[in-house]
């Protein structure tokens, strides 16, 4: 067991570069099995969710080589089974994407039900609804999902009752080679949906409308099996550094960013009095008005305020003057971070789905525990703001989605190290 030990407070300064987007990479990698071929992928983040997908590829006999840091070459030609029920499948959420991809390649898929971060129920009914609309039969038994389309998949019009990233991805994966055209209405618009569509289109798919709420997919018989692609930058990693800079009254250039992806966060930071300057591929965070002002936040699907920046934002709001609220509309019970922040002196009341953050309370270092990936990031930021020593356990959650988090914060002047417990 490892811990992060942080001596605070810190004022972050300097420059940090953001890596490839976890949520895009975990969709693009399963997409490569749709068409037997060899794929060169750049900007793949070095995180444990990707290690888990690599383990699944290896177990299925598919070659995966690390060409250089963050660049891989994978060969999906030898895949000859649609049974993906290995243990690794249950350790990440995105393993469910293998269902759509296998269905597309073989007309059948058996996958273990997915795992992932623990912040309440994470249903897959819309994924199933999508597969069924395309003509597949789906049954769930013994912790596995059995999906079959022995007569092939047929394009359909599918309306998602709730905007779901996962269901949008899975339907896109399943539909690219379906007969006829598929329309996904009320589709998710997140940058990783656009990234997956770009990748699939590079493979020869015909997908239009990704990034809007109507996606149209015209099925094609074959895709190209040899494709090179660079994964889009991680907007959640970028947002985490922007918030950390703001919370520590820091002066930080967050580089390798698509500023457009950051607009909902940028707007809130500016409203609070944080200095924000956006360039072509960077966002500069600097102190402007201090103390920071309170804020009212509601998480929403993209382009709304991302739920995956909710816990980090809660930490920032502990440093603002006055009472702020965060209303969670995506993962209604995502508040496990609040007790941990309160151990550090924060005053956060949770009345699901709303957290009321009574700002202006000085934080003091304490032993705290990350219970999910983004809560872990929130606790690290709190440790940077707090006086004294903070010990964050549950580091394996943070490793799931942040590449070299410790090194990147050290580069910005933080006193943080990773130690064996």
Strands 137-141 and 157-159: unpaired
Q: Which is nearer to ligand UD1, 155 or 306 (CB)?
A: 306
Rounded to the nearest whole angstrom, what is the least distance from the CB of residue 278 to ligand UD1 in the complex? 22
Is 75 or 308 the residue whose CB approaches ligand UD1 more closely? 308
**Residue 312 backbone phi and psi in degrees, to 5:** -60, -40
CB contact at 8 A, 144 and 179 = no
- State in angstroms the smallest separation of the CB of 89 from ligand UD1: 14
CA dihedral 408, 412, 415, 418 (to 10 degrees): 0
Closer residue to ligand UD1 (CB): 303 or 360: 303
Query: Count of alpha carbons within 13 Å of 394, Cβ hemisphere only?
Result: 22
Distance of alpha carbon 172 from alpha carbon 207, whole angstroms: 8
Q: Give the residue at shortest CB distance from ligand UD1.
A: 166
Among 164, 227, 324, 371, binds ligand UD1 (CB under 6 A): 164
Single out the residue of 47, 136, 297, 330 in contact with ligand UD1 (rule: CB under 6 A). 330
| Sites for ligand UD1 among residues 25-64 (CB under 6 A) | 26
Residues that are catalytic:
117
**Binder to ligand UD1 among 126, 194, 231, 246 (CB under 6 A)?**
126
Closer Cβ to ligand UD1, 76 or 170, answer by number: 170
The stretch near ligand UD1 (CB under 6 A) out of 161-169, 171-179, 260-268, 376-384 is: 161-169
Tell me the C-alpha distance between 66 and 41, whole Å.
Answer: 10
**Under rule CB under 6 A, how many of the chain's residues touch ligand UD1?**
20
Map the footprint of ligand UD1 across residues 78-97, applying CB under 6 A.
93-94
Q: Find the part of the chain contacting ligand UD1 (CB under 6 A) among 70-78, 117-125, 249-257, 358-366.
A: 117-125
Residues in 269-308 at the binding interface with ligand UD1, rule: CB under 6 A: 307-308
| 343-349: long-range contacts, CB 8 A cutoff, minimum separation 24 | 343/367, 343/368, 344/368, 344/382, 344/383, 344/386, 344/390, 345/386, 346/315, 346/318, 346/382, 347/318, 348/314, 348/318
- Smallest gap from residue 112 Cβ to ligand UD1 (A): 16
Q: Which is nearer to ligand UD1, 294 or 310 (CB)?
A: 310
Nearest to 380 by CA among 343, 349, 406, 413: 406
> Of 47, 57, 45, 53, which Cα lies nearest the Cα of 17?
45
What b/e readout covers 243-267, taking b as 16+ CB neighbours within 10 angstroms? bbbbbbbbbbbbbbbbbebbebbbe
- Asked if 266 is part of the footprint of ligand UD1 (rule: CB under 6 A), the reply reads no
CA-wise closest residue to 16 among 179, 210, 182, 243: 243
Evaluate whether 393 touches 5 at the Cβ level (below 8 Å): no
Binding status of residue 184 toward ligand UD1 by CB under 6 A: no
- For ligand UD1, which residue of 162, 349, 396, 419 counts as binding (CB under 6 A)? 162
Q: What's the CA gap between 229 and 235, in Å, rounded?
A: 18
Compute the chain's Rg from CA coordinates.
Answer: 21
Q: Which is nearer to ligand UD1, 232 or 320 (CB)?
A: 232
Given 145, 156, 165, 283, the residue binding ligand UD1 (CB under 6 A): 165
Query: CA quadruple 5, 387, 12, 303: dihedral positive or negative?
Result: positive
Using CB under 6 A, pick the residue from 3, 60, 105, 127 that binds ligand UD1: 127
Q: Per CB under 6 A, does 23 bind ligand UD1? A: yes
The three-point CA angle 50-198-37 to 5° equals 60
Which range touches ligand UD1 (CB under 6 A), out of 77-85, 159-167, 219-227, 271-279? 159-167
Identity of the residue, 163 or 416, whose beta carbon is nearer to ligand UD1 in the bound complex: 163
Which residues in this chain contact ligand UD1 in the complex, by CB under 6 A?
23, 26, 93-94, 122-127, 162, 164-167, 188, 192, 307-308, 330
């Amino acid at each position: 067991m490892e811990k992060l030990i942080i001596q605070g407070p810190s004022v972050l300064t300097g420059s940090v570069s953001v890596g490839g987007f976890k949520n895009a990479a975990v969709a693009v990698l399963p997409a490569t099995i749709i068409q037997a071929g060899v794929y060169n992928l750049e900007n793949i983040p070095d995180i444990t969710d990707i290690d888990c997908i690599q383990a699944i590829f290896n177990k299925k006999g598919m070659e995966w080589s690390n060409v250089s840091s963050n660049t891989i070459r994978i060969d999906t030609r030898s895949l000859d089974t649609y049974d993906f029920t290995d243990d690794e499948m249950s350790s990440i959420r995105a393993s469910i994407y293998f269902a759509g991809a296998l269905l597309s390649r073989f007309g059948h898929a058996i996958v273990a039900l997915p795992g992932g971060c623990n912040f309440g129920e994470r249903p897959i009914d819309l994924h199933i609804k999508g597969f069924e609309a395309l003509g597949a039969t789906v049954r769930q038994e013994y912790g596995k999902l059995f999906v079959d389309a022995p007569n092939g998949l047929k394009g359909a019009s599918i309306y998602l009752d709730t905007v779901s990233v996962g269901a949008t991805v899975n339907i896109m994966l399943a539909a690219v080679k379906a007969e006829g055209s598929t329309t996904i209405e009320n589709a998710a618009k997140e940058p990783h949906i656009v990234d997956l569509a770009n990748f699939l289109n590079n493979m020869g798919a015909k997908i239009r409308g990704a990034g809007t709420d109507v996606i149209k997919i015209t099925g094609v018989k074959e895709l190209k099996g040899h494709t090179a692609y660079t994964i889009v930058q991680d907007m959640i990693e970028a947002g985490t550094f922007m918030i950390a800079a703001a919370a520590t009254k820091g002066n930080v250039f967050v580089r390798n960013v698509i500023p457009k992806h950051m607009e909902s966060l940028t707007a809130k930071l500016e409203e609070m009095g944080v200095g924000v300057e956006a360039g072509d591929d960077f966002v500069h965070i600097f102190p402007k008005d201090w103390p920071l002002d309170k804020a009212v936040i509601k998480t929403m699907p993209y382009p709304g305020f991302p739920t995956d920046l909710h816990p980090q934002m809660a930490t920032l709001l502990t440093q603002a003057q006055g009472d702020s609220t965060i209303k969670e509309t995506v993962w209604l019970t995502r508040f496990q971070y609040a007790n941990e922040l309160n151990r550090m002196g924060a005053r956060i009341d949770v009345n699901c789905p709303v957290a009321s953050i009574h700002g202006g309370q000085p934080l003091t270092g304490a032993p705290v525990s990350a219970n999910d990936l983004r809560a872990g990031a929130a606790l690290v930021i709190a440790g940077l703001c707090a006086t004294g020593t903070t010990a964050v356990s549950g580091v394996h959650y943070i490793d799931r989605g942040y590449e070299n988090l410790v090194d990147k914060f050290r580069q910005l002047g933080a006193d943080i190290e990773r130690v064996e417990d």
